[in-house]
Amino acid sequence: MREVEDCHSVESQARVIAAQHDWLRPHLAHLTSVVLAHRVSNKGRRFVVRLTNLDCVDDVDAVDVVLKAFASGDSLEEFERCLGGHQKALDNLGPCAVPEILSIHPETRSLLMRHIGGRTAHDMLGLAELGLAKSDDILEACGRWIGRFHRSTLQSPRPIDPNFMLRWVATMRSEVMDRSHDVPRRDLFMAYVDQIPAMAEAVTGEETPIAVAHGDLHLRNLLITEKGALGLDFDGVRTVTTAHDLAKFLVRFHGWFDADPDTPALDPFWRGYGGDLKDLSQPALRYILPIRLLGDWRDIPKQRTDRRSGQQHRFRNILKCAEKVFRL
């Protein structure tokens, strides 16, 4: 019941914000709304809502758009930063790979995009587990999109400098050590986190490819269509090693679908990504992926009763993956 009430609230708020986009306002009374995603934080509510009249008009009068609204507490700078990341990817890859932006309303921290039919890579891989889709095709499409995205801004390789990531690791370790942030299986977490500095030292100075990062490249931010994959929900423009995006994607894949970090199930992904970039990314990935794995572990509530069903599943897979990534 609460979930239904939340959706109604989001739909109402979406229509108020959509009305601020002048070109859409005359059509609103005839549009059906569908909540695609919403999340509440201390800054307010973020949501994504589809607005469409495809079921009741001719093609010439069709409207089929997606409203993405940031939280009211998000700063204008944050909105513009994420918008810049989306626009840069759109400029580089085109509307077949990144949804086209139709209008922007900075005051409400919102934008309208052309709707593209498809399912997230996460949902499609779930269907593949049921035999209703082919995981090889899904993963190859993901790899191909990420490879194109990275190649579009690829720069000359740079030596690996792990200091920034090691500072984040030191913060995680300190918080878990003094229990200001508690984690499940604290003993294992501490044993694993203490291995990170040596992993980083082993690759320091080796070359790594550099490109603009997506910034939040998990399985729900890639949309799978009949023509391939599209990227969603970009962070701001930031040039870093490609291993950051790869580690986020891979850790989420291992957490949800295949806990084995050496699984051959990822061969299609790397085939799509490209063998040359795969090889170049490996040194940085060898220390960034373990850090990202611990970061996801840190987000799991300590008490099992506080975990959602998905978090319990992910935690089991994180533990299995960590057994092979780390050594005791």
| Structure-token pair, residue 250 | 């891979």
- Residues 146, 52 within the same domain: no
- Residues 59, 90 within the same domain: yes
**213, pLDDT greater than 70:** yes
Which domain, by its residues, includes 157?
119-325
- Residues 21, 61 within the same domain: yes
Work out the percent of the chain whose per-residue pLDDT is above 70.
97
| Sequence-ordered alpha helix ranges (H) in 65-218 | 76-93, 121-129, 135-151, 163-177, 186-193, 196-203
CA distance 148 to 159: 23
- Residues 71, 125 within the same domain: no
Amino acid at 279: D
- Residues 38, 134 within the same domain: no
| pLDDT tens-place string over residues 94-150 | 999 999 999 999 999 999 999 999 999 999 999 999 999 999 999 999 999 999 999
Mean pLDDT of the chain: 95
Q: How many CA atoms lie within 13 A of 129 on its CB side?
A: 9
In sequence order, what are the beta bridge partners of 39? 46
- Residues 180, 312 within the same domain: yes
- Residues 193, 153 within the same domain: yes
> Which of these, 280, 144, 155, lies nearest to 211 by C-alpha position?
155
- 3-state SS assignment for residue 182: coil
Model confidence, pTM: 0.93
For residue 40, what pLDDT is reported?
Answer: 84
CATH number for the domain that contains residue 137: 3.90.1200.10
Domain boundary among 114, 146, 165: 114
- Residues 213, 87 within the same domain: no
| pLDDT tens-place string over residues 270-281 | 999 999 999 999
CATH number for the domain that contains residue 73: 3.30.200.20
Beta strand 101-105 with 222-225 is unpaired
CA quadruple 290, 291, 295, 297: dihedral sign = positive
Q: Sheet harboring 155-159: ordered strands across?
A: 155-159, 207-212, 239-241
| pLDDT tens-place string over residues 156-182 | 999 999 999 999 999 999 999 999 999
- Residues 194, 207 within the same domain: yes
Domain boundary among 64, 85, 114: 114
- Work out how many domains the chain is built from and give that number: 2
